[in-house]
Amino acid sequence: MAKEKGVKELEDLPGVGPTTAEKLKQLGYDNIEKIATASPHELVEVAGMKLEAAKQAVDAAKQATTLEYKTASEVNDKRMALGKIKTGAKSLDDLLGGGVEANAITEAYGKFASGKTQFGFQLSVNVQKPVESGGLGGKTLFIDTEGTFRPDRIEQMAKAEGLDPKHALEGILVVRATTTDQQILAVERADKLVREENIKLIVVDSLMSLFRSEFIGRGALNERQGKLNMHIHKLQKLADTFDLAVYITNQVMDNPAILFGDPTTPVGGNIVAHAATTRLYMRKSKEDKRIVRLVDSPNLPEGEAVIKITPEGISD
Ligand code: GTP
Ligand code: MG
């Protein structure tokens, strides 16, 4: 799409020399459109560019990018046609405008035992149901970075959904990643698997734990965010290309800058915040109750749903 003024490659942008271009490409900013939609501060953060140079590059990239205009009704048709995975709880489906969306990244963050992993299990089962029953008729790629995948929970949930438990287990491809390199590779190399196995959901549980344990201290932050950025770009690309849903779980910290209200903040910084289309904050309530708050969505109002985690899975 990029043309005009001879700007075709990253190297053609003002403020971008060959070394920076190479770095940007490695970070996943591999074409002019990606620069055009980046913020100058993001480029400063991930690629160590000077702010002035980053501004020039983004401006030039914007000018060089031609846009394809669609009517709102075309956009609406496309959105309505997108699949959604029902969660098992009506109140949560309503909060999400029908369920967990394909072509998007949905993030759940919250403290331990808030239900992030259980939600991932439930989606891994539900996605296998046909579209008319609230699934996407496909399999799950489950990237387990914490060693908390539990086949017996899948069996329980599948039975409760009226699915054959054996079949449901066959429908989930699990990768146990113990390093960020393995986690990244599991996604980098997923294209073929996604196509051949008809993967309709990718779960990364959890996104940040390995990144946090491997990259320690301020000195490692740039490198960490750069790698993370590439990883998330790839997830986004898979979601777009294959019309699949991505569900990531995220850890939290207390943000001391928040003086009033709940200081619980997801980790991962701006890169994760921008990447997640929908952010859900999960909190433990009494017994098996969990409160799910929709924090950030482009088209849905903020709100909360109360769900239960039972032996059968997620319900109202
Ligand atoms: P971390 O990964 O530690 O950050 O937590 P998480 O948010 O992933 O929590 P997870 O989804 O693993 O939720 C664990 C909670 O789910 C447990 O404390 C139980 O309350 C509940 N749970 C797990 N399995 C079952 C089950 O078989 N029956 C019921 N009723 N509850 C369960
Ligand atoms: Mg968990």
Hunting for tokens 């990239």 — which residue is that?
Answer: 61
Q: Which CATH number fits domain 10-64: 3.40.50.300, 1.10.150.20, 1.10.3720.10, 2.60.120.260?
A: 1.10.150.20
What is the reported pLDDT for 5?
A: 54
Cβ contact 15:54 at 8 Å:
yes
Which segments of the chain belong to CATH 3.40.50.300? 82-315
Q: What separation in Å is there between the alpha carbon of 290 and the centre of ligand 1? A: 10
Residue 310 Cβ inside 6 Å of ligand 1? The answer reads yes
Mutate to test the pocket of ligand 1, among 109, 111, 114 (most ligand atoms within 8 A of CB): 114
Task: Looking at the CA of 311, name the nearest ligand.
Answer: 1
What is the reported pLDDT for 1?
A: 43
Residue nearest to atom 14 of ligand 1 (CA): 113
What is the reported pLDDT for 8?
A: 87
Which segments of the chain belong to CATH 1.10.150.20? 10-64
Structural Rg of the chain based on CA atoms: 20
CB atoms within 10 A of CB 273: 15
What is the reported pLDDT for 3?
A: 43
Q: What separation in Å is there between the alpha carbon of 38 and the centre of ligand 2? A: 31
What is the reported pLDDT for 4?
A: 45
pTM of the full structure: 0.80
Residue nearest to atom 10 of ligand 1 (CA): 115
CATH fold label, 82-315: Rossmann fold (3.40.50)
Q: What separation in Å is there between the alpha carbon of 284 and the centre of ligand 1? A: 10
Looking at the CA of residue 249, tell me the nearest atom of ligand 1.
Answer: 8
DSSP the chain: -B-STT--SGGGSTT--HHHHHHHHHTT--SHHHHHTS-HHHHHHHH---HHHHHHHHHHHHHHB------HHHHHHHHHHS-EE--S-HHHHHHTTSSEETTEEEEEEESTTSSHHHHHHHHHHHTTS-GGGTS-S-EEEEEESSS---HHHHHHHHHHTT--HHHHHHTEEEEE--SHHHHHHHHHTHHHHHHHHTEEEEEEETSSHHHHHHS-SGGGHHHHHHHHHHHHHHHHHHHHHHT-EEEEEE-EEE-TT--SS--EEESSHHHHHHH-SEEEEEEE-STTEEEEEEEE-SSS--EEEEEEEETTEEE-
Looking at the CA of residue 146, tell me the nearest atom of ligand 1.
Answer: 2
Residue 165 Cβ inside 6 Å of ligand 1? The answer reads no
User: What angle (nearest 5°) sits at the alpha carbon of residue 190, between those of residues 189 and 193?
Assistant: 120
Q: How far apart are the first and last CA of the chain?
A: 46
Residue 114 Cβ inside 6 Å of ligand 1? The answer reads yes
Residues in the chain: 316
What residues in the chain have per-residue pLDDT under 70? 1-5, 78-81
Residue 168 Cβ inside 6 Å of ligand 1? The answer reads no
